[in-house]
Structure 1
Amino acid sequence: MAESAEVRRVREILAAVKPLAAEYYQLTKKPLGVTGEVAEYIAAELLGLDLAPPRTPGYDAIRRTAEGPQRIQIKGRAYGENAKPGQRLGTIKRRADCDAVLLVLLNNQTLEPREIWEAPYSLVLKRLDLPGSKARERGALSVHEFKRISKKVWPASV
């Protein structure tokens, strides 16, 4: 299937933004604020997902399967080798029309992908419902917590 002019242009824009965002981070130690968009695009490219239209409630992408479409929330995190263990994902939307959650970990120096992890949405909700954490009440899991309930889907394990 031929790539549309719009998709091609988005690819060009993100290719230009990634090095600028990485340089901005290196200079200021603050993210530029494009991590989520870069993570969505990378997940779609690497895993063959179709991105949902902007502001689609509850999910960011669709995976086409023999059983039907799967709706996926995508969370991105720029993450370095010496990252603090308590780093958190963005808010996971509750009561969403969603089947799975992806975590795209990006190298915080380059915004190139490091790993992608996937968890069933139902399992994520069970984890968020555990008592004793104000962060979980807000819909936020740590990267470590998310990895414990998910499986690594990229790069493929040998």
Structure 2
Amino acid sequence: MRSAAQVAVDYERLTGRKLGITGEVGEVLACDKLGLKLLADPISAGYDAIDKDNKRYQIKTRRVEHNRGRLSRFSKHEFDYAILVVLNAKYEIMELWQADFRKIKPLIDRQKRRNPSMVEFKRLAERIS
């Protein structure tokens, strides 16, 4: 994963354009750190990973230098937990946040595009790293 992240950083430095691997990097790093199993099918029914008890996790990743911005769209499928991975410019984990689906569902449903802001998500989540 480190090699892919370095290629993305170099590409951005050379071209001024992002390579578009943030979500995948965040999923792999979060699963590795939290002991989750990343699902092989990237379009599984509303979740990206499972834990040893088969709890379902939807993982959102932001690569930021500030704590603003919106998360990508949450699917309409049910899951058990949402994880927010905040990466720095070098694709290293700065923060991990976890929220119970039942707690954030009203927030997600209030958003026309089902994409709450980072600040809104963090208010309902617990920082886990």
Global fold match (TM > 0.5): yes
Q: 4+ runs of 1 displaced by more than 4 Å?
A: none
Q: Which residue of 1 aligns with 2:72?
A: 90
Size of the alignment, in residue pairs? 128
* Distance of aligned partners of 1:36 and 1:93 in 2 relative to their CA distance in 1, 3 Å threshold: same
Measured against aligned partners, the alpha-carbon deviations of 1:100-130 in whole angstroms (never above 9, x if no partner) come to 11000000x2001101101111222111233
Counterpart code for 1:118: Q
Q: Which residue of 2 aligns with 1:31?
A: 18
CA distance in structure 2 between the aligned counterparts of 1:24 and 1:84, rounded to whole angstroms:
24
Report sequence identity in percent. Answer: 34
- 1:79 paired with 2:60, answer no
**TM-score normalized by the length of structure 1:** 0.75
CA distance in structure 2 between the aligned counterparts of 1:29 and 1:124, rounded to whole angstroms:
35
Query: Which of 79, 83, 86 is residue 102 of structure 1 equivalent to?
Result: 83
* Distance of aligned partners of 1:151 and 1:28 in 2 relative to their CA distance in 1, 3 Å threshold: farther
Q: Secondary structure at the match of 1:103?
A: strand
* Distance of aligned partners of 1:72 and 1:25 in 2 relative to their CA distance in 1, 3 Å threshold: same
Counterpart code for 2:24: E
Query: Which of 106, 113, 117 is residue 97 of structure 2 equivalent to?
Result: 117
Q: Give unmatched runs, 5+ long, in structure 1.
A: 1-13, 131-135
Measured against aligned partners, the alpha-carbon deviations of 1:30-76 in whole angstroms (never above 9, x if no partner) come to 42110010000000110000111222121000012xxx321000011
CA distance in structure 2 between the aligned counterparts of 1:63 and 1:111, rounded to whole angstroms:
23
Q: Which residue of 2 aligns with 1:59?
A: 47
Counterpart code for 1:45: D
Greater radius of gyration (CA): 1
RMSD: 1.5
Q: Kindly state the Cα deviation for residue 26 of structure 1 after the two structures are TM-superposed.
A: 3.4
Query: Which of 116, 139, 150 is residue 125 of structure 2 equivalent to?
Result: 150
- 1:44 paired with 2:31, answer yes
**TM-score normalized by the length of structure 2:** 0.91
CA distance in structure 2 between the aligned counterparts of 1:52 and 1:70, rounded to whole angstroms:
12
Q: Give unmatched runs, 5+ long, in structure 2.
A: none
